[in-house]
Amino acid sequence: MQQRNPTAGPTGPDSALPELATSLAWPPLIYPRRLPRLTRARDLTLTLLAWLACAVVLRKPIVSLIGWVSPSLGSHLRAYIPIEYAVDTRPFLWIASALVVVLILSGFRRRHYLRRVPSADQNVPALSHAVQFDGAGVPLAQLGGWRSSRCLHVRHSSDGRMALVEKDGTS
């Protein structure tokens, strides 16, 4: 048996707030056990390559930071890690071009899956303005004023309903 909050206001079928349809969880959780091993290996390889590319691009700031913290270690690292002032971006452009081609081919190969229509149980029905305004305790005649407002300040009562709404500085 459920206990009702005594300050929640009147009870009855008309006072109940409409139940909203629950949407799918976002972002979707992809569990590793559902992925093929080849896909997991590909993702791990791409992640490691991305971190390696970041380290290569940021090697000068990293060595400079280490040299700032420990000047002796920084001078030692500068002797072993060559730091040029110019960064050759051609390898990164080739890698990015190859990834774009792989994505295009993958999308073309999976186009039947990507174009599918979601099932009806995944659609969240839209609530009409009348239902939303009735649930909030606001007359539907004020819809035009609410749409034209640029800023709303809402104060709630102890039972969670809107007690005062100020539109653009006016109540």
Q: Are residues 71 and 92 in the same domain?
A: no
Average pLDDT, the chain: 76
pLDDT score of 23: 58
Q: Are residues 56 and 69 in the same domain?
A: yes
Residue 3 lies in a domain: no
Residue 35 lies in a domain: yes
pLDDT score of 78: 81
Residue 66 pLDDT greater than 80, yes or no: yes
* Total of domains in the chain: 3
Q: What is the pLDDT of residues 19-65, one digit of tens each?
A: 555 556 666 665 656 678 888 899 899 999 999 988 888 888 888 88
* CA end-to-end distance (rounded Å), the chain: 40
Residue 157 pLDDT greater than 60, yes or no: yes
Q: Which residue has the tokens 């949407």?
A: 23
Residue 4 pLDDT greater than 60, yes or no: no
Q: How big is the CA angle at 129 (ends 126 and 135), to the nearest 5 degrees?
A: 95
Q: Which value, in Å, is the radius of gyration of the alpha carbons in the chain?
A: 29
Q: Are residues 64 and 105 in the same domain?
A: no
Residue 160 lies in a domain: yes
C-alpha to C-alpha distance for 96 and 102, rounded to whole angstroms: 10
Residue 12 lies in a domain: no
Residue 15 lies in a domain: no
C-alpha to C-alpha distance for 93 and 76, rounded to whole angstroms: 32
Q: Are residues 34 and 77 in the same domain?
A: yes
Q: Are residues 91 and 79 in the same domain?
A: no
C-alpha to C-alpha distance for 44 and 50, rounded to whole angstroms: 10
* Range of 36-45, 77-86, 87-96, 159-168 with top mean pLDDT: 36-45
C-alpha to C-alpha distance for 154 and 166, rounded to whole angstroms: 7
Q: Are residues 35 and 76 in the same domain?
A: yes
Residue 77 lies in a domain: yes
C-alpha to C-alpha distance for 163 and 147, rounded to whole angstroms: 19
Q: Are residues 97 and 135 in the same domain?
A: no
Q: What is the pLDDT of residues 110-141, one digit of tens each?
A: 888 878 776 767 666 778 888 888 877 778 88
Residue 38 lies in a domain: yes
Q: Which domain holds residue 107?
A: 87-116
Q: Are residues 137 and 166 in the same domain?
A: yes
Which 8-state DSSP code applies to residue 168? T
Q: Are residues 91 and 81 in the same domain?
A: no
Least confident window among 6-10, 16-20, 94-98: 6-10
Q: Are residues 155 and 107 in the same domain?
A: no
Residue 62 lies in a domain: yes
Residue 3 pLDDT greater than 50, yes or no: no
